[in-house]
């Protein structure tokens, strides 16, 4: 895709530094509980900007398109991993929301005890600083490629030894990015692997005017709260005071290439904007929807994973727990991009609905 109508050679004649075309910026946060957290900002010519928190499992906090937020942000805000408390539901004190919070790597779901081990809410991977960080901003043919990669280790003596190799990449001329994870068992014994991508959409993309479209063939309520109104799982509405979260486990269809497409579309936002999520069903066989439409807690989670957020013990009992042998590895990831324009949104809606 030509940059502003020019090929690379002509673009380079007109620029003194690639930062004119988008790019990456590394720095550290300095205020409050976030002081010291390493950050990499992505910026593209199409108006997409997002922030990778290197010291928070390389998750993505803020994300904007042409100045408009794409995600929900928790009142907790960004916080250093040193504030993490693994007990019970204390995870929520450092849950920033953001566009991506990774849950795992050995536990996803509510606090409980599994085989004598006390497990907290959603695991610890999002609070582990990454190491071996590499930042790349360079031309590849006609495209300016932006990429950051690193390793997040969840390892313990006499326990699991997992290394998540994460790469986040974008093209400077696009309004999207990809996340690819390679998880290797570098420990001395087999280890469970539970991973869920907690993708948190928010206002102004999320609103009572928004449409959630999933290729869902069945939506199973998690509990009695979700059972009430289960036929309206796809309907969005204005914030409701005292709203109680509803969680649905979806059975979804992939296309002929094995790819699942999900969409959140707001046709009345700035001429029509949608967010498209794509991933491989073979890598992420479970899709969870978190519908939390309360005052100030106004968020829609679209959460593909290799597990449901039911906890390790329940996954083990259901025969759904993935275990990696020593030296074994697996790969998973997703792509997110912004879509705009009536024709493109119509096509996205058909794609997500599998029509």
CA 233, CA 213: separation in Å to the nearest integer? 10
Confidence label for 128 from pLDDT (cuts 50, 70 and 90)? very high
| Res. 355: pLDDT tops 70 | no
**Tens digit of pLDDT for each residue in 242-300?**
999 999 999 999 999 999 999 999 999 999 999 999 999 999 999 999 999 999 999 99
Domain extent listing, the chain: 24-353
CA distance 23 to 12: 15
In this prediction the pTM is 0.97
Kindly report the average pLDDT of the chain as a whole number.
Answer: 97
pLDDT at 196: 98
Q: Is the pLDDT of residue 184 over 80?
A: yes
pLDDT at position 17 over 90:
yes
Looking from the CA of 97 toward its CB, the CA atoms found within 13 Å total: 23
Which of 335, 6, 80, 39 has its CA nearest to residue 197? Answer: 335
Residue 2 has pLDDT above 80, yes or no: no
Q: Which residues contact 283 (CB under 8 A, 6 or more apart)?
A: 306, 330, 331, 332, 333
The phi and psi torsions of 336 (rounded to 5 degrees) equal -125, 135
Give the model's pLDDT for residue 3.
83
The helix/strand count (H/E) of the chain reads as: 4, 22
Alpha-carbon gap, residue 205 to 209, rounded angstroms? 9
pLDDT confidence of residue 219: 98
- What confidence category does residue 211 fall into, taking pLDDT thresholds of 50, 70 and 90? very high
What are the pLDDT digits (tens) for 317-353? 999 999 999 999 999 999 999 999 999 999 999 999 9
Question: Measured between alpha carbons, how far is 103 from 154 in angstroms, rounded to an integer?
Answer: 12
The whole-number pLDDT of residue 230 equals 96
Per-residue confidence band for 1, with pLDDT thresholds at 50, 70 and 90: low
* Contact in structure between 150 and 54 (CB atoms under 8 Å): yes
User: How far is Cα 88 from Cα 69, in angstroms, rounded to an integer?
Assistant: 31
Cα 291 from Cα 200, distance rounded (Å): 10
Fold of the domain spanning 24-353: Beta-galactosidase; Chain A, domain 5 (2.70.98)
Mean pLDDT check: name the lowest of 5-9, 24-28, 231-235, 309-313. Answer: 5-9
């Amino acid at each position: 895709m030509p940059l502003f109508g020019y090929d690379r050679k002509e673009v380079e004649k007109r620029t003194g530094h690639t930062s004119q075309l988008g790019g990456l910026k590394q720095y550290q946060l300095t205020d409050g509980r976030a002081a010291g957290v390493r950050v990499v900002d992505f910026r593209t010519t199409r108006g997409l900007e997002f922030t990778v928190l290197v010291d928070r499992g390389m998750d993505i906090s803020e994300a904007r398109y042409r100045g408009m937020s794409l995600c929900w942000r928790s009142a907790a805000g960004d916080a250093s991993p040193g504030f993490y408390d693994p007990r019970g539901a204390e995870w929520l004190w450092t849950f920033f929301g953001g566009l991506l919070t990774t849950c795992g790597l050995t536990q996803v779901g509510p606090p409980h005890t599994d085989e004598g081990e006390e497990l907290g809410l959603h695991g610890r991977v999002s609070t582990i600083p990454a190491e071996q960080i590499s930042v790349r901003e360079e031309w590849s043919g006609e495209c300016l490629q932006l990429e950051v990669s690193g390793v997040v280790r969840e390892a313990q003596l006499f326990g699991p030894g997992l290394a998540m190799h994460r790469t986040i990449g974008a093209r400077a001329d696009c309004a999207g990015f990809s996340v690819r994870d390679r998880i290797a068992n570098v420990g001395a014994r087999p280890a469970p692997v539970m991973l869920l991508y907690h993708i948190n959409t928010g206002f102004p993309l999320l609103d009572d005017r928004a449409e959630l479209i999933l290729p869902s063939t069945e939506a199973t309520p998690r509990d009695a709260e979700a059972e009430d109104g289960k036929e309206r799982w796809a309907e969005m509405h204005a914030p409701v005071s005292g709203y109680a979260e509803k969680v649905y486990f979806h059975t979804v269809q992939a296309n002929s290439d094995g790819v699942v497409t999900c969409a959140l579309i707001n046709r009345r936002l700035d001429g029509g904007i949608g967010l498209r999520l794509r991933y491989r069903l073979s890598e992420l066989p479970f899709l969870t929807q978190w519908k939390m439409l309360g005052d100030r807690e106004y968020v829609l989670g679209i959460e593909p994973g290799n597990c449901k957020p039911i906890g390790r013990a329940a996954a083990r009992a259901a025969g759904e727990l993935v275990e990696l042998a020593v030296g074994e590895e697996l790969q998973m990831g997703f792509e997110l991009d912004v879509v705009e324009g009536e024709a493109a949104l119509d096509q996205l809606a058909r794609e997500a609905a599998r029509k």
